[in-house]
Every structure is written in structure tokens, then in C-alpha cells.
Amino acid sequence: MNTTTTTATDVQQPGQQPERRSSGARTVGIAVGCAVVGAAVTAGLVLGLGGLTAGAAPSSPSSAGQGGGYSAGFTPSGGHVEVPSAPAGAPSHHHVVPNPPAPPKPPAPSAAVSTLQRELGQLNYYEGPVSGVMNSQTTQAITYLQRDAGLPQTGTMNAATEQALVQFLAHGNNQMAS
């Protein structure tokens, strides 16, 4: 035998509206939820920026004796430029300054360019160091060779310029010392 007790408040009578809860409880729940989300976003921003604050201790022992007062996390090795912190009592602003682009690497020396510089030097067109790197002096020397050979003055080596260089090395030119 199954005995179940029901009270008058548990059973809804036909034609009776269900009991409405106050919207005040819902409003409080939404407000609490928004406060929790706001606190989480704020904590995420603070932690995401590394907890940077004005007047923080220097970030490395090497910068401690160099004026100090730099914001934590801004080190040359850390990928940022050091930015002085704000004076005590001033509002804290976080400015991330990107590193300037790295200068291009110089070209590697070439044996062919070294030979070219030596040969142009034998003909008194090139007076710079034999570095193996195509520099402005080398380009200018090629231009002078092209001028004396009656070629277009491009400053770059091509088949006609190479042939003129071989001819001048074999037979001399008007630039060679007597």
C-alpha cells in the first residue's frame, strides 16, 4: 500500500495561477553574477599584464644600480623597452613600447666580389679595402670600368662588363699606372 500525503499547497487547483516569485531575487542574482564577472575580468587584466604597477622594484639585479624605478617586466631581454615609472601618487598607466625593427644583417663576404675588387684595384678603378662585400666603392669602380669600355653605366656586373674587365686586365687601360 502506497501512502502519499499531499497538502493543499502542493496541488494546483484548476483555474488557479501558479505562484509568482518576486523579480527582486532575480535582480540580486544578476547583480551578483555581474560583479563576479567584472572582478574576474579585472583580475585577468592585471595578471595578464604581469601585475605591472608604478614604482615597482627594478626587474633585474643589473638595473638596480642604474637609476631603478622602472616598471617590472620591461627589460631589454624581455622584448620591451624600459619605460620609467610614474612618480609616487601619480596614476598608473601601462605603455608597451615595441622594439624597433632589427637592422638588416650585412651581406656575407664573397670570394667572387673579393676577386672583382682586386682586379678593379689592379686597373686603378677600386681603391677601397678588399672586403668581399659589394659596397658603394665597388659599384662606382664598375661604373668607371663600364664608362671607359663604352658600355651602359649600370654599376652592376654583366657579361659585357666581365668581358671588358678581362680585356683591360690582359691589355691594360688608360687608368693603369705607367
DSSP for 133-163, written as a single string: S--HHHHHHHHHHHHHTT----SS--HHHHH
Q: Could you report the per-residue pLDDT of 64-82, keeping only the tens digit for each? A: 444 444 444 444 455 555 5
Q: Which grid coordinates belong to 20?
A: 509568482
What gap in Å lies between CA 99 and CA 120, rounded to an integer? 41
Q: How many residues does the chain have?
A: 178
Q: Which three cell numbers stand for residue 8?
A: 493543499
Query: Is 141:120 a contact under the CB 8 Å cutoff?
Result: yes
% of the chain with per-residue pLDDT over 70: 57
At residue 141, what are phi and psi to the nearest 5 degrees?
-65, -40
Which of 21-35, 125-139, 158-172 has the weakest average pLDDT?
Answer: 21-35
At 94-139, the pLDDT tens digits run 667 778 888 888 788 999 999 999 999 999 999 999 999 999 999 9
The rounded distance, in Å, linking the Cα atoms of 120 and 46 is: 64
pTM of the model: 0.42
Q: Between 1.10.101.10, 3.90.950.10, 3.40.50.300, 1.10.1510.10, what CATH number should domain 111-171 receive? A: 1.10.101.10
